[in-house]
Amino acid sequence: MNWGVLQFPGSCDERDALHACELADQSSGGQSRLVWHEETDLSGLDGIIVPGGFSYGDYLRAGAIARFAPAMTAVADFANAGGPVLGICNGFQVLCESGLLPGALLTNEEMRFICRQGDLIVTEAESPFLSELEPGETISIPIKHQSGRYFAPPEMLERIEANNQVAFRYGEGHNVNGSLNDIAGVTNEAGNVLGLMPHPEHAVDAFTGSTDGLKLFRGPAGINA
């Protein structure tokens, strides 16, 4: 599977994400690569990762300026055609700002930057990124952000819940940012776009305590195999 990992000025997790793509897909000989924010040609790519970091300095609001990057127009076309797109942390914020995912991410309730391991509970949402995970399963991956408080207006929240678009919830005691309904990640209506605040790409080697994150990257590869 050929992954494209976006790289904005200010991205900082793109190399870990690329490493995770390569680890998850060792057997197929896929050619994953970084995609510079000015690129608009995504041909030959089977999946897109919008990585974490501080795109364009996160000025104005996290993800607000990145959504206007030339590469994001191409990602929107790719997503609307059904291609799998995963947004992690700042990437989740970018996907929300661009309207590819519902909702918004606000500054953490306690204003602090949070960096710790967190438990996420897999829900019954349908997405290629969840195909290697079981509903109800708990995964342990790192959380590191300052603006991760998930918010959606009441009607939107109701619709997301009714459509099973909540992909992950924080486990009990792990909703560290004040997210509504303990929401850690959501999908679009079709399920091919998924965003989450915690970092699966940092949980791919037993050396750092957990390999649970690999399962998200393996999902779409299994479907394409």
Partner 1 sequence: MITATILIRPKEGILDAQGKAVEGALPALGFTGIEHVRVGRIVELHAENADQLEDLCEKLLANPLIEDYEIEIS
Positions in 133-192 near partner 1 (CB under 8 A):
149, 151-153, 156, 178
Return the amino acid letter for 59: Y
Assess 114 for contact with partner 1 (CB under 8 A).
Answer: no
Write down the least CB distance from residue 60 to partner 1, Å: 7
Our CB check for partner 1 shows the closer of 84 and 87 to be 87
Assess 85 for contact with partner 1 (CB under 8 A).
Answer: no
Residue 21 among the catalytic residues:
no
User: What's the residue count for the chain?
Assistant: 225
Return the amino acid letter for 28: S
Assess 109 for contact with partner 1 (CB under 8 A).
Answer: yes
Write down the least CB distance from residue 111 to partner 1, Å: 5
Q: With DSSP H G I counted as helix, E B as strand and the rest as coil, what are the percentages for the chain, rounded to 5?
A: 30, 25, 45
Q: Are 134 and 112 in contact (CB under 8 A)?
A: no
Our CB check for partner 1 shows the closer of 115 and 225 to be 115
The count of chain residues that interact with partner 1, using the rule CB under 8 A, is: 20
Our CB check for partner 1 shows the closer of 93 and 192 to be 93
Q: Which residues are bridge partners to 120 per DSSP?
A: 139, 170
Considering only CA atoms, which of 108, 41, 28 is closest in space to residue 75?
Answer: 41
Residue from 34, 64, 76, 114 that binds partner 1 (CB under 8 A)? Answer: 64
Residue 115 among the catalytic residues:
no
Residue 14 among the catalytic residues:
no
Our CB check for partner 1 shows the closer of 9 and 178 to be 178
Q: Which of 89, 96, 132, 145 is catalytic?
A: 89
| Cα 62 from Cα 73, distance rounded (Å) | 18
DSSP string of 157-212, one letter each residue = HHHHHHTT-EEEEEPTT---S--GGGEEEEE-SSSSEEEESS-GGG-SBGGGTB-T
Per-residue x/- track, 31-60, partner 1 (CB under 8 A): -----------------------------x
Catalytically active residues, by annotation: 89, 199, 201
